Amino acid sequence: MKAVVITHPGGPEVLHIEERPIPAYGPDEVLIKVHASGINRPDVFQRKGNYPPPAGVPADIPGLEVAGIVAEIGAAVTRLKVGDKICALVSGGGYAEYCNVPEGQCLPVPGNLNFTEAASLPETFFTVWSNVFDRGQLKGDETLLVHGGSSGIGVAAIQMGNTLGHKVFVTAGSDDKCRFCEDLGAAKAINYKTENFADAIKELTGGRGVDVILDMIGGDYTPGNLQSLAEDGRLVLINTMSGKDVQVDLSIVMRRRLTITGSTLRARDTSFKSAIAQNLEKNIWPLVESGKIKPVIYEIFPAEKAAKAHKLMESSEHTGKIILSWK
Ligand SMILES: NC(=O)c1ccc[n+]([C@@H]2O[C@H](COP(=O)([O-])OP(=O)(O)OC[C@H]3O[C@@H](n4cnc5c(N)ncnc54)[C@H](OP(=O)(O)O)[C@@H]3O)[C@@H](O)[C@H]2O)c1
């Protein structure tokens, strides 16, 4: 099979197509003939050598999500059959023509979507469900602030939050990105380059603050995040792109009874990921099927142009998802 390989740690130019053996699959796994592979920011960190994959995952083939057709099934697979159209969360190896994945991490391709659209869903939807709704416990009429509103994660969080009845505020780095986020359903997008987000949130919530913050920035956003939380609010970290060291006044955590938490999805086991898949299929897939939640694809590249796709992601010009196609 063909695979996009990280030939050595470095810039986008280190990505090359190479021939590799089709991966073996275990009794609980299926082998997918991949039609499209989603690109996520963690793939960029892996390419640079800063995000080693967990044991048992190909170290030099990136890719955390795919969509395609079940080509073969393991002996203990019960639900899926050869020929099924699926999308899946994988721990690596997704930038390839074939990929093995535990059955529990697969979801059906929603009937109204094609493979490139379906490949854009798993990594961000699993991450947002797990961090905003499970860990962050966003519920009732609570409010959400999402940093990086125009990112792949952001477009999933805006749509899932909004469709499930929550007011979603976001930050983004330009007026155009802010407009894009508001068109997608954000109640208000704050251009963090021209406005202090903590001041804006204070004003937008009448001084109350938001209930949950999904943050991929960390660093100097942290004091503003703590100020922006309502009493009993939850700050959920999924990355620290602006730095992991920070000085904050922790007394606010006690005064407002705040929770600071976070997680990384990739290293979690199959049963954890399968439970998220079941929640997504029950709570979110019907909303995708009905068109209330839509994939947001910025650009599709042929797999041979993976370097160009990574270059685009690192430019941060995109809004939504970047996809590789294997056709
Ligand atoms: N913990 C987990 O399990 C998990 C899983 C998946 C993804 N993630 C994390 O979630 C984040 C979003 O992933 P994604 O694939 O959705 O990314 P993406 O589409 O590439 O979007 C990232 C966006 O973040 C904004 N940004 C703000 N500060 C930044 C900085 N210092 N460096 C780079 N970008 C910055 C940029 O938009 P502006 O123009 O608005 O600045 C950029 O477009 C990444 O940090 C990723 O590692 C975590």
Give the pLDDT band of residue 249 (cuts 50, 70, 90): very high
- Alpha-carbon distance of 216 to 308, in angstroms, equals 24
Ligand 1 binding pocket includes 123 (Cβ within 6 Å) = yes
Packed helices 152-163 and 175-184: angle between N→C axes, nearest 10 degrees: 40
Dihedrals φ, ψ of 310, to 5°?
-65, -35
Ligand 1 binding pocket includes 46 (Cβ within 6 Å) = no
Cα 148 to ligand 1 centroid, rounded to whole Å: 6
CB 167, CB 187: distance < 8 Å: yes
Please report, rounded to a whole number, the percentage of residues in the chain having pLDDT higher than 70: 100
Is 214's pLDDT higher than 90? yes
CB 268, CB 294: distance < 8 Å: no
Tell whether pTM > 0.75.
yes
Nearest CA to ligand 1 atom 43: 316
Which tokens belong to 211?
């209930």
CA distances from 247 to 181, 186, 219, 223 (A): 30, 30, 9, 8
Ligand 1 binding pocket includes 217 (Cβ within 6 Å) = yes
CA 246, 252, 257, 258 dihedral sign is: negative
Nearest CA to ligand 1 atom 42: 316
Domains along the chain with CATH numbers: 2-121+266-325 (3.90.180.10), 125-262 (3.40.50.720)
> Cα–chain-centroid distance for residue 120?
9
Task: Report the atom number in ligand 1 closest to the C-alpha of 241.
Answer: 31
Is 327's pLDDT higher than 90? no
pLDDT for residue 81: 98
Helices (H), 81-221: 115-119, 122-128, 152-163, 175-184, 197-204
pLDDT for residue 52: 87
Nearest to 121 by CA among 172, 66, 84: 66
Cα 247 to ligand 1 centroid, rounded to whole Å: 22
- Which of 175, 176, 177, 238 to mutate to test ligand 1, by most ligand atoms within 8 A of the CB atom? 238
Which tokens belong to 45?
């960190």
Which tokens belong to 307?
């370097």
Average pLDDT over residues 212-223: 98
The 3-state DSSP class for residue 56 equals coil
Cα 149 to ligand 1 centroid, rounded to whole Å: 9
Give the pLDDT band of residue 56 (cuts 50, 70, 90): confident
Nearest to 71 by CA among 79, 62, 63, 81: 81
